[in-house]
Amino acid sequence: MQQVINAAVLGSIYSLFAFGIGLPWGTMNVLNLAHGSIFLLCGFICYVLSVKARVPLNLPEAAAVAIAVGVCADWLIELIVFRQIRRRSSNDGEAQLLMVIGSVGIAGIPIAIANNVTGGVPFMILQQPTHSREHELFGASISNLEISIIALSVGIVVAAALWVRFSRHGRGLRAIAVDPEIASLMGISRSRASAIVMGISGGTAGLAGVLFGEYLASLQSTSGEDLLLKGFAVVVVGGVGSLWGLLVGAFALAVGEVVVTATTSGVWTDGVSFALIIVILLLRPNGIFGRATVDRT
């Protein structure tokens, strides 16, 4: 039962992080490879405030700070980089490629800053690590922090999936994903939609940074880049554009990692997990919930 709880917590963190990659990619065709660095930046800002500046922050306050930092950071990326690339590109394909390259360049900035301040060693998010109450569940132990991680992560992804599926703004995002030009002729503002999506993505990166940092008791300058590959894999396995598939992919990866770690020394955890992902993609090239694209004339 303890391994089930561990897999649920790990899968929830993966789903929350991957959600920030999958939402802009599936709706705005923006693959933001700076997402891992925004995740790191938000945790690093909380570390500077709490540990360096000695500002007394509890976990909810740190989460609020991280969300605000993530939203502002992604808005700046959208305004200064992505929007300018769209305006200067001759077509959407060129714009998407240049945005990927631009996001790679941006990703190095927070990593360099964190490395310079911390010397590359792990750092705690808060001055005092969170000590949450432990509960017994079918003979296993689960803390308030773990309950919060599962509830917040799954709740946010499910709420976002329902919002994209049923709300007016969600239908507008899906229309942009299908055909940006026709969507703009129908009165859907791509700039406004992109600002909303990037803000949500940055906010979830910040929340994931604080929750993951507290769960592991520390972060380091490479934490965002390490998690970025797994988040990317989760989105691809679930199916680009499918938030329900993202949940399934996240928990599938987490279960694979927990099983391998529990039955081996842990050295093969990443290798076996990603081999499982390759098998899934061989069987379902478009992902578990992905659909083949059909061009009609």
The rounded distance, in Å, linking the Cα atoms of 103 and 86 is 14
Instruction: Identify the segments of the chain with pLDDT beneath 50.
Output: 294, 296-297
What is the C-alpha to C-alpha distance for residues 45 and 160, in angstroms, rounded to an integer?
26
CA triplet 29, 31, 37: central angle to 5 degrees?
A: 150
pTM above 0.85, yes or no: yes
CA angle 165, 240, 199 (to 5 degrees): 65
The pLDDT value given to residue 261: 81
What's residue 129's pLDDT? 66
Per-residue pLDDT, 57: 86
Distance between CA 130 and CA 80 in Å, rounded? 36
How many angstroms separate the CA atoms of 149 and 153, rounded?
A: 6
Query: What pLDDT, on the 0 to 100 scale, is given for residue 290?
Result: 65
Three-class secondary structure of residue 207 per DSSP: helix
Burial-class residue 293 by CB neighbours within 10 Å (0-12, 13-18, 19+). Answer: exposed
Per-residue pLDDT, 130 = 64
- What local confidence, expressed as pLDDT, does residue 237 receive? 84
pLDDT at 296: 46
